[in-house]
Amino acid sequence: MKSLFITDFFNIYRGEWLKSRKTLAFWMAILFPFFCTILVSLTFLGDKQIPSEPWPMYIKQVNNVMSFFLPFFLILLVSFTTQIEYKNHGWKQLYSQPVPRFTIFIGKYLMVLTLLVLSVIFALLILSGLAPIIQLIRPGLNFTGTSFDFITFYRLFIHTILGGIFIMTLQYWLCLRLRGFMAPIISGVFFTIIPIAYVMILGIAGLLKKGKEVLKVFEYDPYSYPFSTTFKFAPANSASTPLIPDILQLHLGIALVILILAAIDNHYRKVYA
Amino acid sequence: MNQVKNVICIDNLTFGYRNKQVLDKICLDVPEGSIFGFLGPNGAGKTTTIKILLGLLKVGDGHVSLFEKDINTHRIEGLKLTGAMVEDPSLYDHLNARENLRINCVIRKIDSTRVEEVLSQVGLTTDAHRKVRNYSSGMKQRLALAQALLPSPRLLMLDEPINGLDPAGIIEIRNLLLDLNQNHGITIFLSSHILPEIEKLCSHVAVINKRNILYQGSMNGLLNTGISGARLIVETDQPVKTKELLSRLYPVEVSGDHKIIVTLSDRNEAKDVAKRLVDAGIGILLLQPETHELEASFLELLKDN
């Protein structure tokens, strides 16, 4: 029984992979890191300062830009992945397959997670490929003479992926419940800009005076949590910076609860389209 | 091996969406080996019934089983033997026909050699490389049918399978369904608005309207007996004498081609009609029950209810 469930899950996941190719979601997973890395590379070219160890700075800046756009990327990624089914009347075909409903639910969820991880892998490939080109244009940047900083990359991007899990999970549930394309996107954007608006209002009122206070607001809101990375300037590989901070653990815990509730909701869901 | 008598069994099924009741204690039995037509006007509850059978909607009150297995507790076992097509075809239009079918092969653990077999069955082999977004609605309908055939099902559930097909396509699909039923023993449960097609295809039929099943049984039963009693067409060598004789005993009317139509309260009365005509020395040229066109029977059924 257990092995049958795993086989069903694996088959659903494979099916999701087959249908995800050539979709907007798949291309987004490639183009998002490409866009972020190009943006950072251009600023690197124009920067007057030449760091002696360019890799950690380059990686951190790519991660910062990716983190900044991550909520919007995830909102769109989840919407595009689920919208395939609405657009092509796929839900009724999927849910009338002789497999447990949970495997369909979790298979698609893990497909979105896969696309997120893929975008990080693409980021690694693109920044590794672009660095020698930057060095050709600005020979002072010694990328080839120093080794790639895997620890910084690993710590920063693991943190980025984990920081996106809450957004991904809640958006996934919203997309399963709300049939229209725009409703989950508008909800997601609303959740993302609320803390920015909150910070602005507090700032104007003079209630926020320190950068740390701003950071705290962003940290506590899961949708803007990835922003908070942008404002941290401590070395990423510093032992004092935990890989999964307490607040991120809390977000992940809540995301797990949301995932379980969404799975239960999905089990009893009426499939109309 | 167990002999299954009814592949679909619905017992006292009640279902509603929020405040609107769609099905009210309906009962339906689909015998194995039949081509079962499910008829009803728009909004009568046909698609809802099919969705419940496929586990897309949860059973409200009542009992629903596929292959004698409760859909609530053994949904997967029932669906393993079922191929289905509900409403609009479920196809990924950014992929071609083969890729669409391969996804189903992967999910249902079906050998990928079936892809070419079903493509050939529905006549799409030469267009299989084209993206589905470039298909006509008829081609999409065929591909959806191919998808339903992929698992070599024992039961095919088809919701409006000939929608969007041209006349040649309709004939092809009709022949394919007849072949699947007669030569492969597949039970077919289909809903359609195209009554002449149902009449040509189906051995059994059920009519649903306003939440209730109005008729269920063999197609001949619906066509021959009608709902308002049996009618007998009589043609003799002495029409005037025949009319005089029979009008004393039964309600009689004369058709445009001088045939006499006798309304009987019981089909067995046909024997008496024949005996009286023979005793009166009238030569019988024709004596046959009036068959209703399905459309007429269908409309009469809806009118009466």
- The tens digit of pLDDT for each residue in B28-62 reads 999 999 999 999 888 888 999 999 999 999 887 89
Element (H, E) at A247: helix A246-267
ipTM for the complex shown: 0.85
Read off the pLDDT band of A3 (50, 70, 90): low
- Give me the pLDDT at residue B302, please: 72
Q: Span B247-251, mean pLDDT? A: 88
B52 & B153 share domain: yes
Please tell me the distance from the alpha carbon of residue A180 to that of residue A186, in angstroms, as a whole number.
Answer: 11
What is d(CA B248, CA B241) in angstroms, rounded to the nearest whole number? 11
Q: Clarify whether residues B84 and B29 are in a common domain.
A: yes
Lowest mean pLDDT among A14-28, B119-133, B193-207: B193-207
Question: Which residues pair with residue B28 across a beta bridge?
Answer: B10
* Position B231 in a domain: yes
Which residues share a beta bridge with B85? B158
Q: Give B150-170 pLDDT, tens digit per residue.
A: 999 999 999 988 877 888 888
For A97, which of B58, B102, B107 is closest by C-beta distance? B107
Distances A100 to A1, A263, B97, B104 between C-alpha atoms, Å: 11, 12, 26, 15
pLDDT score of B147 = 95
Query: What confidence score (pLDDT) does residue B22 get?
Result: 87
Question: Would you say residue B188 lies in a domain?
Answer: yes
Residue B229 confidence (pLDDT): 59
What is chain B's mean pLDDT, rounded? 87
Is the pLDDT at B94 greater than 80? The verdict is yes
CATH of the domain at B99: 3.40.50.300
Q: Which domain holds residue B217?
A: 6-223
The total number of structural domains that make up chain B? 2
**In the structure encoding, which two tokens stand for residue A13, read together?**
């996941």
Answer with the one of B223, B247, B270 that is the final residue of a domain: B223
* Within a domain: B199: yes
B286 lies in a domain?
A: yes
Mean pLDDT of B209-220: 85
The pLDDT of A148-154, averaged and rounded, is 85
CA of A10: which chain B residue's CA is closest? B107
Q: CB distance from A122 to chain B under 8 Å?
A: no
Lowest mean pLDDT among A98-112, A215-229, B64-78: A215-229
Residue, of A44 and B133, whose pLDDT is higher: B133
What is the CATH classification number for the domain harbouring B299? 3.30.70
- Residue B1 lies inside a defined structural domain of this protein: no
Has residue B2 got a pLDDT over 60?
Answer: no
Contact call for A99 and B76, based on CB within 8 A: yes
Q: Are residues B115 and B262 in the same domain?
A: no
Same domain flag for B22 and B71: yes
**Domain shared by B153 and B165, yes or no:** yes
Mean pLDDT of B78-105: 93
The answer to whether residues B255 and B146 belong to one domain is: no
Is residue A126 over pLDDT 90? yes
Q: In this predicted structure, what is the pLDDT of residue B17? A: 82
Of A89, A98, A268, the CB nearest to B90: A89
B81 and B183 share one domain = yes
* Gap from B154 CA to chain A (nearest CA, Å): 14
CB count within 10 Å of CB B298 equals 23
- Residue B214 falls within a domain, yes or no? yes
| DSSP of A27-65 | HHHHHHHHHHHHHHHHHHHH-S---SSHHHHHHHHHHHH
Residues B185 and B217 in one domain: yes
pLDDT digits (tens, 9 = 90+) for A16-42: 999 998 899 999 999 999 999 999 988
Split at pLDDT 50, 70, 90, the class of A273 is low
Domain boundary among B223, B242, B264: B223
Strand order in the sheet with B252-254: B252-254, B260-264, B230-236, B284-289
Residues B178 and B131 occupy one common structural domain: yes
**Domain match, B86 and B206 both:** yes
Q: Quick one: tokens of A125? A: 């490939």
Q: Find residue B16's DSSP bridge partners.
A: B21
pLDDT at B103 over 70: yes
Cα separation of B67 and B79, whole Å?
9
- B150 lies in a domain? yes
pLDDT category at B270 given cuts 50, 70, 90 is: confident
Q: Is the same domain home to B64 and B202?
A: yes
Whether residue B227 is predicted with pLDDT greater than 50 in this model: the reply is no
Chosen domain end from B171, B192, B223:
B223
B218 and B268 share one domain: no
- β-pairing verdict for B260-264 and B35-39: unpaired
Nearest residue on chain A to B89, alpha-carbon basis: A89
CB contact under 8 A, A95 and B55: yes
CB–CB of B91 and A22 under 8 A?
Answer: no
Single-letter amino acid code for the residue at B140: K
Amino acid present at A129: G
pLDDT at A233 over 70: no
Residues 6+ apart with CB under 8 A from A132: A143, A144
Residue pair B71/B56 in contact (Cβ under 8 Å)? The answer is: no
